[in-house]
Amino acid sequence: MEKKDIDWSNLGFGYVKTDKRFVSNYKDGSWDEGVLTEDDKVVISECAGVLQYAQTCFEGLKAYTTEDGHIVMFRPDLNAKRLADSAARLEMPVFPEDKFVQAVHDVVKANAAYVPPYGSGATLYVRPYMFGSNAVIGVKPADEYQFRVFTTPVGPYFKGGAKPITIRVSDFDRAAPHGTGHVKAGLNYAMSLHAIVDAHAQGYDENMYLDAATRTKVEETGGANFIFVTKDKKVVTPKSSTILPSITRRSLMYVAEHYLGLEVEEREVYLDEVKDFAECGLCGTAAVISPVGKIVDHGKEICFPSGMEEMGEITKKLYDTLTGIQMGHIEAPEGWIHTVC
Ligand SMILES: Cc1ncc(COP(=O)(O)O)c(C=O)c1O
């Protein structure tokens, strides 16, 4: 298979149309078999549930080339489960988890020419999503749905090294108690747009959201969970029922405990104690870990001892071990690496 003529190392994070996508429709109570198609256009009613009442949820994962030349994905079964949880919360029919894994596998295989080569730092981003497709004018769930998976090649997350970022404590809330913060609903992201545009306008890279009920506990950012490292090298991550359960964060906590022999703790983390941590990172599929050097809380600066030049010691070990597992340099736990071809 010949790769496409793409300047992999200069790709950004944008949409590039690839050859094939998967489409399955839900009608009269069941999903059809689905097809791989070249048609990248969606034609739905002007009154579709997704357009009127935002009935949509999605996932995001990456396919990449390992050192020995295989195309693999990282834990796609967990994305399948999370999409099922999101769909159930939004009164959408669940797309069967085994069929989800097969669909992402088939789409990646069909677009193998777009999977960046080993060493380029670039990856093929995979976007499964579903939405209510039939006309709905009263506020209620749609009766018909479409599930789609497309791919797009994306560039290396860290161009020229992983520089620590500066974030601010946000005055906006991301998720209400008992709301939809724990699922990947499109509506969570629509309402975060103003907060991120405002953060960027004020010179910050990201927002740290606090729990909406008491505004005393750390939740997450708009697209990543937090991990902190204590001065005695314990890895701590916020426990909350209103954050998205990041697959990267769950994997890093496993790596910390079982590969690096570190003590780990998932517990409520108060904003007041953040100043006492030695390191801070944001974890998600895109960056694996993005180091945080500084948090600004209404003019008060919290500067981590790891500084503004490089990742902290433990953050770096976590990053190197997880990316080593993903790239096939370090043996993966059973079931973590899904080989496409
Ligand atoms: C709100 C939010 N939190 C956390 C994450 C990180 O999750 P994952 O590690 O599964 O990519 C994401 C990205 O999907 C996200 O959108």
3-state secondary structure 277-305: CCEEEEEECCCEEEEEEEEEECCEEEECC
Active site residue 17: no
Residue nearest to atom 6 of ligand 1 (CA): 284
CA-nearest of 285, 286, 305 to 294 is 305
Predicted confidence at residue 161, as pLDDT, reads 75
Predicted confidence at residue 235, as pLDDT, reads 98
Single-letter amino acid, residue 329 = H
Atom index in ligand 1 nearest the CA of residue 82 equals 10
Mean pLDDT by 10 residues, the chain (341 residues): 91 95 98 98 98 98 96 98 98 98 98 96 97 98 98 87 93 98 98 97 97 98 97 98 98 98 98 98 95 97 96 97 95 98 97
**If you count DSSP H runs as helices and E runs as strands, how many of each does the chain have, helices first?**
7, 17
Atom index in ligand 1 nearest the CA of residue 78 equals 10
Kindly give the distance from the C-alpha atom of residue 182 to the centroid of ligand 1, in angstroms, as a whole number.
Answer: 10
Are the C-beta atoms of residues 172 and 207 closer than 8 Å to each other? yes
Predicted confidence at residue 111, as pLDDT, reads 98
Kindly give the distance from the C-alpha atom of residue 135 to the centroid of ligand 1, in angstroms, as a whole number.
Answer: 30
Predicted confidence at residue 184, as pLDDT, reads 98
At 156, list the tokens: 């290396």
**Catalytic residue among 62, 184, 217, 317, which?**
184
d(CA 45, CA 131) in angstroms, rounded, equals: 12
Predicted confidence at residue 158, as pLDDT, reads 79
What is the best residue among 173, 188, 219, 285 to mutate for testing ligand 1's pocket, by most ligand atoms within 8 Å of CB?
A: 285
What is the best residue among 126, 225, 226, 255 to mutate for testing ligand 1's pocket, by most ligand atoms within 8 Å of CB?
A: 225
Residue the block writes with tokens 């003019």: 299
What is the best residue among 244, 250, 322, 323 to mutate for testing ligand 1's pocket, by most ligand atoms within 8 Å of CB?
A: 244
Residues contacting ligand 1 via CB (< 6 Å): 60, 220, 223-225, 244, 246-249, 284-285
Residue nearest to atom 4 of ligand 1 (CA): 224
Kindly give the distance from the C-alpha atom of residue 20 to the centroid of ligand 1, in angstroms, as a whole number.
Answer: 25
Kindly give the distance from the C-alpha atom of residue 259 to the centroid of ligand 1, in angstroms, as a whole number.
Answer: 23
Residue nearest to atom 5 of ligand 1 (CA): 224
**Model-level pTM greater than 0.85?**
yes
Kindly give the distance from the C-alpha atom of residue 225 to the centroid of ligand 1, in angstroms, as a whole number.
Answer: 7
Kindly give the distance from the C-alpha atom of residue 245 to the centroid of ligand 1, in angstroms, as a whole number.
Answer: 7
CB-based contacts of 38, cutoff 8 Å, min separation 6: 19, 20
Task: Output the CA torsion 161→162→164→166 (10° steps).
Answer: 100
What is the best residue among 240, 246, 288, 290 to mutate for testing ligand 1's pocket, by most ligand atoms within 8 Å of CB?
A: 246
d(CA 269, CA 243) in angstroms, rounded, equals: 13
Atom index in ligand 1 nearest the CA of residue 286 equals 11
Kindly give the distance from the C-alpha atom of residue 223 to the centroid of ligand 1, in angstroms, as a whole number.
Answer: 5
CA-nearest of 97, 90, 116 to 5 is 116
